[in-house]
Amino acid sequence: MRKSLTQATIQAWARFIRVEQLLLDKVESDLKAADLPPLVWYDVLLELVRTEEGRLRHKDLHRHMLLAKHNLSRLIDRMEAKGLVSRQSVDDDARGAFIAVSDRGRQMQRRMWPVYALAIQHYFARHLDESDLERLGAILAKLQAP
């Protein structure tokens, strides 16, 4: 382990944070321009759609999500008000709840994906060749390792 931070380390860290925020802001802008909900809604819907039953316990949903979720309960409230998800009671846990995706939620996730996919291609993938992507993936895997 390095004893002190080098200028290269500090610059790489700052660039990493700035690029992540820039890319997410661009995706959010594209979703908004298409009159679609924020990316975090897609994140919730995708994780629910991926499950066999179309639902997850609140605590499990929180762990599966990619994006920051400062108040998942309030986010779920807003999505429930739009008919995209519903809360279902858990038989053996009076305080717990499943979050289940509705048909409307599945439709919304399918509507959002083309805009999101195009943004990934336009703002990220087109700037990198396969070799770049493999190297970046390997670097990110190192950072993700325990």
- Asked if the structure places residue 2 within a domain, the reply is no
- Asked if the structure places residue 14 within a domain, the reply is yes
Query: Using one digit for the tens of pLDDT, what is the confidence trace for 18-54?
Result: 999 999 999 999 999 999 999 999 999 999 999 999 9
Residue 131: CA count within 13 A, CB half-sphere: 0
- Asked if the structure places residue 19 within a domain, the reply is yes
User: pTM value?
Assistant: 0.89
Note the pLDDT of residue 7. Answer: 95
Output the six-digit token pair for 74: 């309030």
pLDDT over 70 at 64, yes or no: yes
Note the pLDDT of residue 115. Answer: 98
- Asked if the structure places residue 1 within a domain, the reply is no
Note the pLDDT of residue 97. Answer: 86
Give the structural domain span for 24: 7-144
- Asked if the structure places residue 115 within a domain, the reply is yes
pLDDT over 80 at 69, yes or no: no
pLDDT over 90 at 103, yes or no: yes
pLDDT over 80 at 92, yes or no: no
| Percent residues over pLDDT 90 in the chain | 79
Q: Which amino acid is at 116?
A: Y
Note the pLDDT of residue 94. Answer: 66
Which of 21-25, 68-72, 78-82 has the weakest average pLDDT? 68-72
Considering the chain, what is the average pLDDT of its residues?
93
Residue 111 neighbours by CB under 8 Å, 6+ apart:
36
Q: What is the CATH number of the domain that holds 13?
A: 1.10.10.10
Output the six-digit token pair for 39: 């990316």
Number of structural domains (the chain) is 1
CA distance 26 to 98: 32
Give the dihedral sign, CA 75/79/80/84.
negative
- Asked if the structure places residue 126 within a domain, the reply is yes
Note the pLDDT of residue 71. Answer: 87
pLDDT band at 4, cuts 50/70/90? confident
